[in-house]
Structure 1
Amino acid sequence: MDLNFDRRYLDLIVRWLWLIALASAVAAGVSYYFSSQETVAYVAKARLIVGPGVDSSKPNINDLRTSGALMQTYAELALTRPLLERVASGLGGDVGASKLSKKVEVKANTETLILTIQASDNDPESAVAIANAMAQAVVDLPQTSMEEIIEGVRQQVAEIESEIQRTTTTIDRLEAERQASTDLAQQKLLQDQIKDERSHLTDSHKTLASLYESLQQTVTNQVKLVEPAVEAVQEESKVRLNVMVAALAGLVLSVIVALVVEFLDTRVKTTDQLAALSAAPLMLAVKRHAALGGTGVDRLVVKARPDAKAAEGYRMLAARLLFARDGQAPRTMMCCGPAAAGVDDSAEAAANLAVILAESGYRVVLVDANLAQPSLAEMLGIADRGGLAEALLAKDGRVSPTAIPWAPGLRALPAGGAAPEAMRRLASPRLAEVIGGLSTDADIVVVVTAPVLASAESLAVAPHTDGVLFVARSGRVDRTVMAQATEQVHAVQATLFGVVLTQARRPGTASPRPAAGVPVPMPAADPTRLARGELMLPLASPRVASDPPAT
């Protein structure tokens, strides 16, 4: 099982839990309100039986099958407009066929041959009246035709009985004539006539018996009322079911919305998303913290709030950076954002990182190479003069970084005057000379530049450092932009140390993904020793406690 895959979906649910809960609650609340407004309904039932039923002395399996088929027909006929109009007319009031069809439900049970007519109404007495009226209308459907059939059979019986009477009289007359006659030929003729009449009489008796049997047998096509509606019961409330269905629908809809938004959202928010974009060895997210005002100590979270999770994130960043080159700390590094759009936290992240390194006993120089929009001088509370711009234009090449009094071991080189000539020299060999000069008197030089996709000069700085560290605010940089920035860094043959997400909802790191041309970091420092300030920083010549602070 892919734990990272599962965690991504878990993070998605946590991020959108408010929407899922809100949508479910709103849907359930709306459903409860409208369901509660519905008027209480009462239900009455009348039961009918179709076919011979239990009163038949000789039930026939074919008759029962026929009755089952007829039951479905009667169930459909019960809801036809002519029958509904006839029932509505008998009930009177404002009940029409359309309104009545919504109040009546017919259920057929082909096994028991029971037809149930169910009527619902806000008034229990009206529900009973509707159920009984509908039942009687269904009973009356075959009644007329059956009476006509029975009457026809009775007429046939009467005619046959009359015919039998006439035949009997004729036989008696012929028998008397035969006995009175002395002519043998005449007697033989009369005897043949008597024989024919008796045969006809026998046929008439058989026909009469068949007609009597048909009258005595139960007719298949008949409907009887078994149980009329007597009282109506209150219909079971569907409020709970409606609320549950609505809440489930709201939950499903909110999950779909969250998935669609996540699919369309191309912003980078987590280190896992970074890992899918870049093979950089260092990917770290710094916990979100409140904006800090002021300058100097009050501006940097590692000094103002050293116990905050954001400060711990910067300490972890320092520990991992110092193993970025085959277990050796970089001597120079460039810190910048990927693009100009959005918030650029690179200067603040570089300052916090530089303070951590200085507190660990290393000589650090922080350089503001963003000559177009300098920010380090104001952030650190130092004068913005005698900075990088002047150093690039100076002929003697002397560089004098300003010591930061509240961070021993840390010096800063502000941007200075942003002269056009100085900005052009950022892309010249002169910058390499300045950085090289600073490296001779420092353990680590951190150079802050403009975003690489917004300044060609920033790309020119990258090859003069040991590596580049991207700083992007979580949720403010597009994945495409991050991929383009990474491609630009590799295009100038510079090393990408990693990417840092600031103001992240959840701090953390991503697993390294080695790739061709990208260094693989050594394991980070022990977190327990890190919390005590023992960073175990590997460096060729770290400054010892007895060394005087650099000026």
Structure 2
Amino acid sequence: MEELNLRLLLRPLLKWWWLIAACTLLAGVSSGLYTLRQPRTYLSRTTIMVGSSLLEPNPNSNDLYLAGQLASAYADIVQRSTVRDATQAALGLGWLPYYTARLVPNTQLIELSVVDTDPVRAQAVAAELVNQLLQIGPGMQEGSEYQAFIADQLDQMEKGITETTAEIERVKTELTGMFSARQIQDARSQITALEAKLATLQANFANLLANSRQGAINTIHVLEPANLPTTPMSRGLKTNVAVAAALGFALAAAAAYTMYYLDNTLQNEDDIQDHLALPALGLVPKNHAAEGRAGLEGDDERAALNDAFSALRLNIQAALGGDVPKTLLVGSPAVGDGKSSVAANLALAFVEAGYRALLVDADLRRPSLHRQFNLPNQRGLTTLLLGEEHNLELLIQQPAQQRLSLLTSGPLPPNPTRLLSRKELRGVLAEMAQKFDIVLLDTPPLTATVDASILATHVEAMLLVVAAGRTQRTPTQRVVKSLRHLQVNLLGVVLNAVPVSQTVYHAGYGYAVPRAADAEGTRRGALQIQANGQAGAHTLPALQEGIKPASNPLYQALRKR
């Protein structure tokens, strides 16, 4: 079951492999050529840091979080039109090359990358983008005198803190050598005063430092200036080709599955086995010569068709353990599947094998065998069923230059279903089976009427004819289900109008063609049998004289039996 499911899954890919291969190759080659035609590009990169928390020995978590939020904002600002227009105007460019601003995750770092075909221009744009950000930041808006004043105040406060700390340590050292209570009290009072002074200095220093660029969080520092690239970036040829080929394969595979599942017809032997659970007993090649197309022609075509029906006859006998069915019904799901042509040529195949075969046109609605064999149809099967004639031999006709016996349909009754439901049918079929080795019945399509289903319950075996690429799968499945419900002995399926490339008869078929002199005589005696409903609009000739599938092992085995 798993193997069957896998085969069904892969079938669209195997059926349309040429389309998938062509699309994959075309996508890959096109991508490669497009990539090679693109100009070489260069990458200039610069890194900036928001705030100075990373420079502090003990950074505050709140400061780090705030710096990260500010970095995210700056990364967004640098890609907006204000910064782009200012950079473009500063450099005198009519356009800017492609660039990105990437915030390094979980940090306050921004990485600016500029890609351009000119390495110098790429470096200039990267540097100017950073310059525009620096001008937006608050640090650039403060005067240099103000910053110098703050720096001087910080230096003085830092000096005062150092001196006060040293003074406190000196007094504490002197305190250890004091013995007078007054001296000890004065020293402790002095230490308290000095510690208060130190606390004030430290608080003032921290406040002033927060207002300076050195300690401010909302400042921008350039960690890595824009570099001048010397080597071009990789074109990514292999990656582009691989991605394009993969996309081409995926799209082609999707198209193959779409076409496969939208196609509801039976195409080949695998479809027969998988969807109908029946063996394909025969493949009848399409007659391309009759359609005016290239293919098998002349003697080769007749030889291929002869081999196809000889193989079909052998497969029927093999399915019955080597025996020949006394009564064999040839039916099809719909009009135009070619069942009448298959029935006629199969009957001729049994005649050529030495069997007494009777071909009966049991299609009482649209009979066709009398026209194909150019015979009258004034009397036939309906004459027997209505009791107007009881002598079967008087109703059987012999086509010209053929050893085949044919019983036409006779006059069409007003209600064929009622006529076929009469008990006389069983007796008529029994009489035919007694006088002939095999009786083949051509019937109406199974989906059109119940006539074929009624006949199927009175015969020993049945063949189902479907036209490759024409017969719908779903109606055929319903037909097979109905026949199994009626317990009909359905031997298998004949796939008609198969393209020559899908048959085994297109290779090495020339061995069966007679010599020129013999072939001419054979052609004069060959009967052209037009397919019922013109399945594939092709004509199937009857079997030629003297052509035997002696090389077929199954044929030799049956001959020994």
Give your verdict on TM over 0.5: yes
Distance 2:438 2:157 in 1: 130
Distance 1:209 1:458 in 2: 108
Does the Cα contact within 8 Å between 1:270 and 1:474 map onto a contact in 2? yes
Shift, 1:428, TM fit: 4.2
Residue equivalent to 1:363: 356
Give the stretch that moved more between structures: 28-37 or 482-491: 28-37
User: Rg: which structure is higher?
Assistant: 1
**Which segments of 5 or more consecutive residues in structure 2 lack a partner in the other structure?**
161-185, 505-548
SS at match of 1:399: helix
- Report matched runs for 1:462-541 at 5 Å: 462-489=456-483, 494-504=488-498, 530-531=552-553, 533-534=555-556, 536=558
Residue equivalent to 2:116: 121
Q: Quick one: which amino acid aligns to residue 224 of structure 1? A: V
Any idea what the Cα deviations from partners look like across 1:57-102, whole Å, max 9, x if unmatched? xx7253899679847743641440354454344234434xxx67x5
Aligned residues: CA RMSD: 5.1
Residue equivalent to 1:13: 13
Shift, 1:448, TM fit: 1.0
Change in 2 beyond 3 A, CA 1:473/1:202? closer
Picking from 130, 134, 141, the partner of 1:135 is: 130
SS at match of 1:103: strand
Residue equivalent to 1:45: 45
Residue equivalent to 2:316: 321
Q: Quick one: which amino acid aligns to residue 344 of structure 1? A: D
Does the Cα contact within 8 Å between 2:379 and 2:411 map onto a contact in 1? no
Does the Cα contact within 8 Å between 2:328 and 2:460 map onto a contact in 1? yes
Picking from 439, 452, 465, the partner of 1:458 is: 452
Shift, 1:444, TM fit: 0.7
Does the Cα contact within 8 Å between 2:83 and 2:132 map onto a contact in 1? yes
- Report matched runs for 1:186-201 at 5 Å: none
**Which segments of 5 or more consecutive residues in structure 1 lack a partner in the other structure?**
163-191, 295-299, 509-526, 540-551
Q: Quick one: which amino acid aligns to residue 127 of structure 1? A: A
Q: Quick one: which amino acid aligns to residue 467 of structure 2? A: R
Distance 1:322 1:301 in 2: 30
Distance 1:334 1:465 in 2: 7
Picking from 401, 405, 411, the partner of 2:404 is: 411
Q: Quick one: which amino acid aligns to residue 352 of structure 1? A: N
Shift, 1:17, TM fit: 1.9
Give the stretch that moved more between structures: 119-128 or 469-478: 119-128
Distance 2:407 2:109 in 1: 96
Picking from 380, 390, 407, the partner of 1:388 is: 380
Picking from 235, 259, 283, the partner of 1:286 is: 283
Does the Cα contact within 8 Å between 1:469 and 1:496 map onto a contact in 2? yes
Q: Quick one: which amino acid aligns to residue 119 of structure 1? A: V
Does the Cα contact within 8 Å between 1:43 and 1:127 map onto a contact in 2? yes
Any idea what the Cα deviations from partners look like across 1:427-472, whole Å, max 9, x if unmatched? 5455545444433332111111111332344344333322322111
Aligned residues: 472
- Report matched runs for 1:231-270 at 5 Å: 231=229, 233-238=231-236, 240-270=238-268
Does the Cα contact within 8 Å between 2:361 and 2:381 map onto a contact in 1? no
Any idea what the Cα deviations from partners look like across 1:369-394, whole Å, max 9, x if unmatched? 23443343454x55345762585375
SS at match of 2:222: strand
Does the Cα contact within 8 Å between 1:153 and 1:211 map onto a contact in 2? no
Q: Quick one: which amino acid aligns to residue 362 of structure 1? A: Y
Residue equivalent to 1:3: 3
Residue equivalent to 1:103: 99
Distance 1:206 1:385 in 2: 129
Shift, 1:22, TM fit: 4.3
Distance 1:391 1:303 in 2: 40
Change in 2 beyond 3 A, CA 1:311/1:240? farther
Shift, 1:130, TM fit: 0.6
TM-score under structure 1 length normalisation: 0.67
TM-score under structure 2 length normalisation: 0.66
Shift, 1:52, TM fit: 6.7
Distance 1:284 1:418 in 2: 34
Distance 2:496 2:328 in 1: 18
